[in-house]
């Protein structure tokens, strides 16, 4: 029944993943969800403050929470069930048996139904995201709502397609002269086991949903381990998933929230548990490297990278500067796709550096644009990192600092700091400086810019690369060199499209080919590595 209800959604999603054209099952415009939805979502968020989050269909004698709003600097006061690692894993394993036996059509339909239920919580999730991560209201709504749902649907569609690639059973006949050998063959996709999805503090929903739904659609139970400072947004999602599972006669513990605290983290205990077979991770490279080296685990990581912009030439350098100013200011540079290093040849350096400085200054000082673009900084550590960047030995072209937010007087804010370095100063720019810090790198020429951007991507990883050139030959060279280190390039972006953005059903988020991460949202490998094809044979004659 659910499959009939959602077959069109699934078929459209599969087609979109093939065609790579624009497709959005969940519109990114708030008005698409009704006039009363934003107000109802805000009320739901506020009613949860200071209360245990009891919507989860899992319980514990230990309830804790430590989230603090980057906008008010006040605790949310929401607590979550803290469950020991062994108990979480055993419950997941017990719930996984019946789920694995369902046909993929049923699993996909049930999971699509969960997305339709989550849709009804988009605005509550938006406020929860805003007050845990520091994202602006609009970014919180779009990233944790429709964009995250579309990425989840992309994973469902990919699994739905791949798990039907081969026939379930067939009669196989091999002619042997006057006789034949006849076998009955059965092909089964066997899930690998309990999955673990480790979330981050800046994008707790968008970065987690692809792994959650990739695990579930391929028949695996999943544990959702949020960052202790950003639990509520994904807790709302997990509760909705559990609700739909229970309504369809399934064990809701198939998907569990594995909350912990900063003082007593459960991440390593879960990662190293022998029954955990799959791990999805978003976060810093140090812990990501540890996960990638764990034996007997299938791991999908998105780690730190150093993203570059190569500037060679442009028809309108003012438009370029304005586009880049927005890209580096958006969410105060706390996006994994945000550009950090700007490679500018000597012949253009003074002009381009001045235009970028002026464009950033103008955006930040604009009372209508600045606060909404910057949002708030999730962690005080990020602010301190941005402040300490001024002492790296680089020239300081623009000093970042607090920005007044009229709606939230106590908001933790920080505008971008712009540093200047020479090409030889690799000790300064050849590493990730997460947050509102950008470096303008003066190079001899575009050839040196390309060489340095390529070298950094190969050694340290990159998720994005922006490039500006009016010369087709230079464009071809940039594309060839950056693609050779598995880094995609966005050329000549101006106006209302930014290098930070990756669209579901069309763009691959991270390539999996350089140190920034070993997986990609959402290519077939992201799905195929979560199960194993088994062929059984029986002789008939």
| Token couple for 257 | 């929230």
β partners of residue 439:
341, 419
Per-residue pLDDT at 390? 84
**What pLDDT sits at residue 178?**
87
Task: Report the distance separating Cα 173 and Cα 187, nearest Å.
Answer: 16
Instruction: Specify the CATH class of 37-165+193-277 in words.
Output: alpha beta
Write the DSSP symbol of residue 306. -
| Rounded Cα–Cα distance for residues 292 and 518 (Å) | 9
In tens, the pLDDT along 220-242 reads 999 999 999 999 999 999 999 99
- Strand ranges for 192-238 from DSSP E: 194-198, 222-225
How many angstroms separate the CA atoms of 80 and 60, rounded? 9
Sign of CA dihedral 75, 405, 321, 447: negative
472 Rama sector, left if φ>0, alpha if ψ -120 to 50, beta otherwise: alpha
Comma-separated ranges of CATH 3.40.309.10 domains in the chain: 308-491
Instruction: Please tell me the distance from the alpha carbon of residue 303 to that of residue 288, in angstroms, as a whole number.
Output: 6
Instruction: Kindly give the parts of the chain with pLDDT less than 70.
Output: none
Residue that the structure tokens 């994973």 belong to: 155
Task: Tell me the torsion sign for CA atoms 96, 102, 105, 111.
Answer: negative
Across the strands, what pairs with 309?
A: 342, 466
CB–CB of 116/146 below 8 Å? no
Locate 187 and state its tokens. Answer: 């092909």
CATH 3.40.605.10 domain position(s) in the chain: 37-165+193-277
Q: How far apart are CA 372 and CA 382, in angstroms?
A: 19
Tokens representing residue 381 in the block = 């550590």
What is the structure's pLDDT at 521?
94
CATH superfamily of 308-491: Aldehyde Dehydrogenase; Chain A, domain 2 (3.40.309.10)
| Separation CA 482–CA 485 (nearest Å) | 5
């Amino acid at each position: 029944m659910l499959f009939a209800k959602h077959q069109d959604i699934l078929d459209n999603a599969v087609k979109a993943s093939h065609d790579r054209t624009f497709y959005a099952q969940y519109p990114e415009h708030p008005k698409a969800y009704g006039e009363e939805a934003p107000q109802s979502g805000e009320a739901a968020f506020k009613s949860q403050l200071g209360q245990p989050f009891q919507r989860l269909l899992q319980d514990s004698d230990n309830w804790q929470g430590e989230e603090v709003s980057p906008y008010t600097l006040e605790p949310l006061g929401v607590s979550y069930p803290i469950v020991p690692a062994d108990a979480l894993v055993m419950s997941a394993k017990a719930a996984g048996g019946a789920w694995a036996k369902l046909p993929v059509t049923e699993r996909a339909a049930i999971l699509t139904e969960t997305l339709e239920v989550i849709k009804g919580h988009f605005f509550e999730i938006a406020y929860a995201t805003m007050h845990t991560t520091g994202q602006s209201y609009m970014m919180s709504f779009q990233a944790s709502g429709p964009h995250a749902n579309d990425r989840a649907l992309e994973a469902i569609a990919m699994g739905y397609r791949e798990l039907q690639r081969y026939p379930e059973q067939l009669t196989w006949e091999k002619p042997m002269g006057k006789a034949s050998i006849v076998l009955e063959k059965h092909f089964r996709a066997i899930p690998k086991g309990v999955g673990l999805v480790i979330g981050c503090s800046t994008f707790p929903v968008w970065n987690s949903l692809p792994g959650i739904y990739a695990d579930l659609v391929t028949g695996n139970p999943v544990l959702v381990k949020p960052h202790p400072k950003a639990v509520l947004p994904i807790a709302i999602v997990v509760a909705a998933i559990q609700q739909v599972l229970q309504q369809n006669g399934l064990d809701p513990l198939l998907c569990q929230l594995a909350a912990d605290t900063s003082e007593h983290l459960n991440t390593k205990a879960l990662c190293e548990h022998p029954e955990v077979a799959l791990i999805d991770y978003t976060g810093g490279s140090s812990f990501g490297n540890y996960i990638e080296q764990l034996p007997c685990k299938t791991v999908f990581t998105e780690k730190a990278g150093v993203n570059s912009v190569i500037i060679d030439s442009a028809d309108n350098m003012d438009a370029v500067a304005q586009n880049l100013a927005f890209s580096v200011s958006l969410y105060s540079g706390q996006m994994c796709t945000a550009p950090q290093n700007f490679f500018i040849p000597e012949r253009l350096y003074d002009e381009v550096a001045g235009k970028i400085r002026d464009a950033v200054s103008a955006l930040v000082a604009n009372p209508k644009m600045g606060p909404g673009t910057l949002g708030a900084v999730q962690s005080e550590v990020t602010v301190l990192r941005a402040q300490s960047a001024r002492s790296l030995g680089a020239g300081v072209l623009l000093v970042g600092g607090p920005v007044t937010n009229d709606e939230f007087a106590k908001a933790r804010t920080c505008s971008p700091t712009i540093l200047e370095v020479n090409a030889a100063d690799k000790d300064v720019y050849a590493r990730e400086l997460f947050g509102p810090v950008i470096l303008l790198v003066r190079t001899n020429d575009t050839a040196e810019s390309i060489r340095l951007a390529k070298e950094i991507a190969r050694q340290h990883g990159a998720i994005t690369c922006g490039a500006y050139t009016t010369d087709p030959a230079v464009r071809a060279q940039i594309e060839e060199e950056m693609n050779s280190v598995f880094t995609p390039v966005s050329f000549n972006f101006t106006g209302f499209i930014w290098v930070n953005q990756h669209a579901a059903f069309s763009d691959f988020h991270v390539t999996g080919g350089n140190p920034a991460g070993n997986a990609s949202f959402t290519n077939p490998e992201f799905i195929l590595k979560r199960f194993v094809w088994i062929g059984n044979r029986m002789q008939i004659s």
